[in-house]
Amino acid sequence: MAGRIEGRVAVVTGGCSGIGLATVRRFVAEGAKVVVGDIADEAGKVLVDELGGPEVVTYVHVDVTSKEEVDALFKTAKDTYGSVDIAFNNAGISPPDDDSILTTELDAWRKVQEVNLTSVYLCCKAALPYMIEQGKGSIINTASFVAVMGAATSQISYSASKGGVLSMTRELGVQFAREGVRVNALCPGPVNTPLLQELFAKDPERAARRLVHIPMGRFGEPEEMASAVLFLASDDSSFMTANTFLVDGGISGAYVTPL
Ligand SMILES: NC(=O)c1ccc[n+]([C@@H]2O[C@H](COP(=O)([O-])OP(=O)(O)OC[C@H]3O[C@@H](n4cnc5c(N)ncnc54)[C@H](O)[C@@H]3O)[C@@H](O)[C@H]2O)c1
């Protein structure tokens, strides 16, 4: 039986860990060829071997804040597999020195803006010409539930960067809708990945404080995000663009949660 994205070519940034990794695995299982861009070169090599070698997956070292490297990533997809059908612009960071606005310094602010927001601008700018030429394509940008809700446990630059990703996604979705290119934002709730584990390892109380607000009473799993990304990448979501796709265990709909 054919997969849901059989024969499509996908680019995934941050594909060596967490949500990106689960999505690369799912995309391959559903018949896609995938080009993974990350800075985790060892993990990238292991992943290519795990998933069947260069016929199916190619790893490219990419710092998503570099225009040259991002352009080369998308060109690799076109040159190696013949098209750029899906772009999952997902790489992001959540460093501990990004905290309350009162203690977050300009360097920490700028670093997060570069990796989380400028990167998505660069990836969309690189992917769109291929997709416009094909008259078809699906871009999924990873924002976050913090793009639509405020938290007293602040990470000020992270939240602002994700708000930027969401607004940019909406605008691109509107602008390119009649050219066959769909652009949607995945807004995960807290997901059980190294990014979240690192953040909460230093502060279990903060983790517990967040858990209280999730109606389902647990963090999400990367595979649950991969299912949502697959939906947005595939023709199953063909009438969706410029969308804020919240996959958050009910957080954004909750006022009082069960005990
Ligand atoms: N985990 C969560 O709770 C959560 C919630 C909402 C949104 N998100 C977002 O989901 C995305 C993925 O997060 P995750 O939890 O899977 O994180 P993760 O830390 O498990 O994986 C992130 C990946 O991005 C890569 N990366 C980091 N900086 C890079 C750079 N400059 N260039 C290229 N690659 C780089 C890392 O090497 C890693 O492989 C991020 O954008 C994150 O902000 C995560």
CATH of the domain at 146: 3.40.50.720
- The residue whose CB lies within 8 Å of the most ligand 1 atoms, and thus the one to mutate among 193, 214, 218, is 193
Q: Indicate which residue's Cα is closest to atom 1 of ligand 1.
A: 191
User: Cα(149)–Cα(85) distance, rounded to whole angstroms?
Assistant: 31
Residue 256 resides in a domain: no
Atom of ligand 1 nearest to the CA of 116: 41
Alpha-carbon distance of 217 to 135, in angstroms, equals 42
In angstroms, rounded to a whole number, what is the distance separating the alpha carbons of residues 157 and 112?
Answer: 6
SS3 154: coil
Q: Which mean pLDDT values do the consecutive 10-residue runs of the chain (259 residues) have? A: 93 98 98 98 98 98 98 98 99 96 98 99 99 98 98 95 99 98 98 83 79 93 98 98 98 92
Residue where the block lists tokens 């080009």: 35
| Nearest-atom index, ligand 1, CA of 186 | 7
> In 3D, which of 225, 228, 233 has the Cα closest to residue 84?
233
Instruction: Note the pLDDT of residue 1.
Output: 63
Pocket test for ligand 1, best of 11, 13, 16, 19 (most atoms within 8 A of CB): 19
The single-letter code of the amino acid at 159 is S
Contact between residue 182 and residue 137 where contact means Cβ atoms under 8 Å apart? yes
What pLDDT score was predicted for residue 207? 78
Distance between CA atoms of 213 and 218, rounded to whole angstroms? 10
Amino acid at residue number 45: K
- pLDDT of 73: 99
In a domain, 251, yes or no: no
Q: Is residue 144 one of the residues assigned to a domain? A: yes
Query: Ligand 1 site: residues with CB under 6 angstroms?
Result: 13-14, 16-20, 38-40, 62-65, 90-94, 115, 142, 144, 188, 190-191, 193-196
Domain enclosing residue 52, as ranges: 9-244
Q: Residues 247, 189: contact at Cβ < 8 Å?
A: yes
Is residue 207 assigned to a domain? yes
Residues 6+ apart with CB under 8 A from 52: 28
CA of 208 relative to ligand 1 center, distance in Å: 21
Give the total number of structural domains in the chain: 1
